[in-house]
Amino acid sequence: MTYTPHDYQQYASDFIEEHPVAAVLLQMGLGKTVITLTALSNLLFDSFLVRKVLIIAPLRVARDTWPAEIGKWDHLGDLIPSVAVGSTAERITALERKADLYIINRENVQWLIEESALPFDFDMVVVDELSSFKNHRSKRFRALMKRRPVVKRIVGLTGTPASNGLIDLWAQFKILDKGVRLGRFIGAYRNAYFTPDKRSGQVVFSYKPAPGAEERIYQAIEDITISMKAQDHIRMPELVTNEYKISLSGDERMAYERLRKDLVLDASGGQVTAANAASLSGKLLQLANGAVYTDDGKTIALHDRKLDALEDLIEAANGKSVLVAYWFKHDLQRIAGRLEKLGVSFSTLDSSESLLKWNQGKLQAALIHPASAGHGLNLQGGGSFLIWFGLTWSLELYQQTVARLWRQGQKSETVVVQHLITEKTIDERIIKVLSGKALTQNALIEAVKAELTGGSR
């Protein structure tokens, strides 16, 4: 296929070529993969500034999306990729193969650097979903930092740089510029831009930006950062979001409130105990969905309210394909059981074959877990209707999952996102929190948004 880039795509590719260190904050659907591959091709074969490139990505994106994108476009025909996923032997074989681009999943970064005994002789690194390196204590972050000094060029790609607040930016930019702009140490970054928020005595649980800190952070990173929103550059389909309200019966409400107040729920199938606030949050979320794990790992079903609502929505779709996002394994099992009863053709999107079936329109329903399939997958060919059976606290995973359908290439003029919300439960709080986090991230994106006629601001 012939590649005719949009202005914003050409601008972003040029930015990568012109900046040895680049943070490219492209909202989902803008084609960040082909943008980056175009720049890599030019750096490898035109300017000869790069010899060997390592691409780090989520597993399915590394395995499926990057190779597929290379094969899709005529101008990338000279690029030779080698995908280093799978068993240890398969990864080593792939990394020893002669290629231009070596693509590895992020879970194996530490293995590559600290355990493989292979030379780390890449002169350029691309981190697809830079936000997956936001934890400075993670093994993958520490391993990559060990080799960062030998990397001449680096690109960080993400559409969700600050999904949990601006505190997340430090580690991501430390990977890129080795601490030049936001400081070499997380403590100094916190002291410079944040003040303690929630605390107990001397123990600080969270931080909030100090007055004027957001603007100072944006100014510090703007010389290596561009940001673009899909709506500004391409004709996106209309995004319609709805909340499908679900009410519990009196007994179901009592069970929910008993666990919320007492942290213990005794039921015929076993006992459910919440040891702390985080555990309670998860248990309440499960109960809102209709089932919960007991202390001994069994599953107690409390209600089928969301399954009934899901059935209604699938019927209302009138044969159109539906993408269903779930979080807990027992949700998956219960959803699958209901779909089997309905005679609906469905599959979990956990293999290349299932992804192909979905995009070919051969599945009436597909089940997706945001944490394993939220990033980078192109699912817009299979449908335009997403149902959130169970919500997630992560704005990043939420937005990435929505963007599997609401993106460039979506044939439908409207993408519909339905949230199954159990009234007077933690579901309502999660929706509110996700909205609040989105405001912070939107402020970041706006502040470093690229103006095509005037460069980055």
pLDDT at residue 408 in the model: 77
Instruction: In whole angstroms, give the CA distance from residue 161 to residue 127.
Output: 12
The reported pLDDT for the residue numbered 234 is: 67
d(CA 308, CA 230): 35
What domains are defined for the chain?
Answer: 7-233+442-456 (3.40.50.10810), 235-248+304-424 (3.40.50.300), 249-302 (no CATH)
Instruction: Decide if 82 contacts 99 (C-beta within 8 A).
Output: yes
Q: In the structure encoding, which two tokens stand for residue 142, read together? A: 């520490």
Distance CA 94, CA 99 (A): 9
| Regions of the chain where pLDDT drops below 50 | 453-457
Q: What is the pLDDT of residue 455?
A: 45
Please answer whether residues 300 and 290 qualify as being in contact, where contact means their C-beta atoms are separated by less than 8 angstroms.
Answer: no
The Cα 369–Cα 376 span in angstroms is 13
- The distance of Cα 438 from the centroid of its chain, to the nearest Å, equals 14
Number of Cβ atoms within 10 Å of the Cβ of 371: 14
**Phi then psi for 265, rounded to 5 degrees?**
-135, 120
- Strand bridging mode 81-84 / 53-57: unpaired
pLDDT at 450: 59
The length of the chain in residues reads: 457
Tell me which residue of 445, 452, 22 sits closest to 218, measured CA to CA. 445
Distance CA 80, CA 92 (A): 17
Q: Please tell me the distance from the alpha carbon of residue 444 to that of residue 162, in angstroms, as a whole number.
A: 8
Q: Which two tokens stand for residue 309?
A: 């609502």
Q: What are phi and psi of 22, to 5 degrees?
A: -140, 130
Identify the sign of the CA torsion 305, 238, 64, 52.
negative
Closest to 371 in 3D by CA, of 411, 401, 331, 409: 401
pLDDT on residue 103: 97
The model's pTM is 0.67
Distance CA 182, CA 196 (A): 18
Q: Which amino acid type is present at position 320?
A: K
Geometric angle at alpha carbon 373, from 289 and 399, rounded to 5°? 70
| Nearest-angstrom CA–CA distance, 317 and 346 | 14
Specify whether the CB–CB gap between 41 and 53 falls below 8 A.
Answer: no
Helix axes 7-18, 32-45, angle to 10 degrees: 50
Question: What is residue 454's predicted lDDT score, i.e. its pLDDT?
Answer: 47
Residues 6+ apart with CB under 8 A from 232: 8, 449
Closest C-alpha among 424, 325, 416, 401 to residue 365: 325
Q: What is the dihedral of CA 55, 236, 238, 228, to 10 degrees?
A: 60
Cα–Cα distance for residue pair 314/205, rounded to 1 Å: 42
DSSP string, 24-55: EEEPTTS-HHHHHHHHHHHHHHTS---S-EEE
Report how far residue 368's alpha carbon sits from residue 298's, in angstroms, rounded to the nearest whole number. Answer: 23
pLDDT at 141: 97
pLDDT at 449: 64
- Number of other CB atoms surrounding residue 198 within 10 Å: 10
Residue 147 half-sphere exposure toward CB, CA atoms < 13 A: 22
